[in-house]
């Protein structure tokens, strides 16, 4: 089945893949993420920026990349932003800049997209998983210290579903061991934690510009953020084959540059990003209010038939997804699909249960395992109207009954 414009999940999966949008009746199509309406808003500015790139022809690290880096650094509130080819490359480059390699250990959440752990293993390091907080789905700081060993070289908390992890608590523990912290903010650019922006909360912040992210390009892209001048220089070199000037390579790197055309797309979208964040906050809150009106809400993983997202009082989420927990998840999703309501599963397996990591650890992560069996993401984007929201909520409640 061909998914129409706006029918992307957060990993861009098509039918038959984990994390995909589950099947819909084409006659009753509803967009899971509405990129088409957003395009209608930015079309003139977008065309002007793309045409400028086509005219000057600097397709690799052109002026739009530098301008985007300046504006994003200012938006986030850090000294440096380094545009890279993807959110996956952002994590890889951040760890390479910190010198992480074979024999090292990197602690991260057991519940995230595969790239979080994949990049650790690609460098020859060992992913060490920590279970999640049952309310926020982010790394539980109370379980962090027990996972630290003499080989721990970094901690990567994941700011999941648009909400930041408890970064102050994590940073406090990490600083006691002099361990750098990398925020995996692929889903949380624009979110606030105690008045500070996601990506400005740790040694390095990494985000993704995959099309369905809160700030998304029209292809892959990502960025690293830091206040550390030396790390910023290292990451700029690593993204461009490790060179500090043309054909002079003081370090190993990779081809991890952000395309100029994608930077142009992001500059056009950045103009309306603040408005879209406000809309996401409003729409996410309204989802919860509608479910509350039906008495279907909770703040723990217990036996409630439906659990709505819990946003910590210190946080403002950008609702990269609106993810609920439901009993009989697959059955509920199938009923919604029959009514033309697309859903997605983020994520159906904890990272420790992925086949490639089998045998890596004998530790159990019960909160992550339970969440993986129950989470269901509903349509979420800044252009979701109230009538459609009410239709979705009513359908979910009816499916549960």
Q: Return the structure tokens found at 294.
A: 């039906």
* CA pair distance 366, 361, nearest whole angstrom: 14
Helix (H, G, I), strand (E, B) or coil at 107: strand
User: At residue 22, does pLDDT exceed 60?
Assistant: no
Nearest to 39 by CA among 30, 47, 31, 49: 47
Helix (H, G, I), strand (E, B) or coil at 192: strand
Predicted confidence at residue 303, as pLDDT, reads 54
Q: What would be the CATH architecture of the domain defined by 26-40+273-400?
A: Alpha-Beta Complex (3.90)
pLDDT tens digits for range 326-374: 989 999 999 999 999 999 999 999 999 999 998 898 899 999 999 999 9
Residue 230: Cβ within 10 Å count: 9
Nearest to 186 by CA among 232, 119, 131, 129: 119
User: At residue 66, does pLDDT exceed 70?
Assistant: yes
As a whole number, the mean pLDDT across the chain is: 92
Q: Strand 196-197 to strand 192-193: parallel, antiparallel, or no bridges (unpaired)? A: antiparallel
Domain boundaries, the chain: 26-40+273-400, 44-270
All residues at 6 or more sequence positions from 109 whose CB lies less than 8 Å from its CB, including other chains:
116, 129, 130, 132, 138, 139, 156, 157, 158, 160, 165, 351, 368
Cβ atoms of 36 and 239 closer than 8 Å = no
pLDDT tens digits for range 374-389: 999 999 999 999 999 9
Q: What are phi and psi of 265, to 5 degrees?
A: -60, -45
pLDDT band at 5 (very low <50, low <70, confident <90, very high): very low
Residue 361: Cβ within 10 Å count: 14
User: At residue 271, does pLDDT exceed 80?
Assistant: yes
H helices, E strands: number in the chain = 11, 13
* CA pair distance 305, 290, nearest whole angstrom: 15
Predicted confidence at residue 9, as pLDDT, reads 47
The proportion of the chain whose per-residue pLDDT surpasses 90, expressed as a percent, equals 88
pLDDT tens digits for range 98-133: 999 999 999 999 999 999 999 999 999 999 999 999
Same fold, 26-40+273-400 and 44-270: no
Q: Return the structure tokens found at 13.
A: 């999966």
Helix (H, G, I), strand (E, B) or coil at 153: strand
Rounded mean pLDDT, 146-154 = 98
Instruction: Report which secondary-structure segment, H or E, holds 260.
Output: helix 260-270
Predicted confidence at residue 26, as pLDDT, reads 53
Angle between helices 63-76 and 35-56 (to 10 degrees): 130
Q: Return the structure tokens found at 15.
A: 């039918």
* CA pair distance 146, 149, nearest whole angstrom: 8
Provide the 8-state DSSP code for 255: B
Give bridge partners of residue 257 from the DSSP assignment. Answer: 84
Lowest-confidence region among 11-15, 20-24, 176-180, 327-331: 11-15
Better pLDDT: 17 or 96? 96
* Angle at alpha carbon of residue 15, lines to 189 and 186, rounded to 5°: 10
Better pLDDT: 304 or 312? 312
* CA pair distance 374, 69, nearest whole angstrom: 38
Cβ atoms of 77 and 196 closer than 8 Å = yes
Q: How many CA atoms lie within 13 A of 16 on its CB side?
A: 2
User: At residue 46, does pLDDT exceed 60?
Assistant: yes
Predicted confidence at residue 300, as pLDDT, reads 46
User: At residue 4, does pLDDT exceed 50?
Assistant: no
Find how far residue 49's CA is from the centre of its chain: 26
Give bridge partners of residue 218 from the DSSP assignment. Answer: none
Give 282-301 as a DSSP string.
HHHHHHHHHHHHTT---SSS
Cβ atoms of 120 and 239 closer than 8 Å = no
* CA pair distance 66, 132, nearest whole angstrom: 37
Q: Return the structure tokens found at 342.
A: 């697309």
Choices 3.20.20.210, 3.40.640.10, 3.20.20.10, 3.40.50.920: CATH for 44-270: 3.40.640.10
Q: Strand 322-326 to strand 306-307: parallel, antiparallel, or no bridges (unpaired)? A: antiparallel
Q: What is the pTM of this model?
A: 0.93
């Amino acid at each position: 089945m061909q998914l129409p414009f706006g029918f992307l999940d957060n990993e861009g999966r098509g039918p038959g893949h984990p994390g995909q949008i589950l099947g819909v009746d084409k006659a009753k199509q509803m967009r899971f993420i509405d990129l088409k309406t957003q395009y209608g808003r930015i079309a003139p500015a977008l065309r002007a920026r793309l045409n400028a790139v086509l005219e000057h022809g600097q397709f690799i690290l052109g002026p739009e990349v530098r301008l985007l880096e300046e504006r994003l650094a200012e938006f986030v509130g850090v000294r440096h932003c380094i545009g890279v080819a993807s959110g996956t490359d952002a994590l890889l480059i951040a760890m390479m800049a910190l010198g992480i390699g074979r024999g090292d250990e990197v602690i991260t959440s057991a519940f995230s997209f595969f790239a979080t752990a994949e990049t650790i293993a690609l460098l020859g390091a060992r992913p060490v998983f920590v279970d999640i907080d049952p309310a926020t789905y982010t790394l539980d700081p109370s379980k962090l210290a027990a996972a630290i060993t003499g080989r721990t070289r970094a901690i990567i908390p994941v700011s999941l579903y648009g909400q930041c992890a408890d970064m102050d608590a994590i940073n406090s523990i990490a600083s006691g061991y002099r361990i750098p912290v990398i925020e995996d903010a692929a889903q949380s650019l624009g979110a606030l934690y105690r008045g500070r922006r996601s990506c400005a909360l740790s040694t390095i912040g990494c985000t993704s510009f995959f099309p369905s992210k809160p700030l998304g390009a029209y292809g892959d892209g990502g960025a690293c953020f830091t206040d550390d001048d030396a790390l910023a220089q290292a990451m700029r070199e690593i993204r461009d084959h490790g060179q500090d000037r043309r054909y002079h390579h003081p370090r190993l790197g990779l081809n991890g540059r952000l395309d100029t055309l994608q930077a142009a797309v992001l500059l056009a979208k950045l103009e309306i990003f603040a408005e879209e964040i406000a809309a996401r906050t409003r729409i996410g809150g309204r989802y919860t209010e509608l479910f509350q009106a039906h008495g279907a809400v909770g703040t723990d993983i217990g036996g409630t038939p439906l659990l709505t997202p819990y946003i910590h009082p210190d946080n403002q989420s950008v609702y990269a997804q609106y993810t609920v927990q439901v009993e009989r998840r697959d059955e509920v999703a199938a009923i919604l699909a029959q009514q033309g309501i697309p859903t997605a599963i983020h994520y159906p397996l904890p990272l420790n249960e992925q086949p490639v990591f089998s045998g890596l650890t004998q530790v159990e992560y019960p909160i992550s395992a339970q969440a993986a069996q129950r989470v269901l993401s509903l349509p979420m984007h800044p252009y979701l109207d109230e009538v459609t929201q009410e239709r979705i909520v009513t359908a979910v409640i009816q499916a549960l009954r």
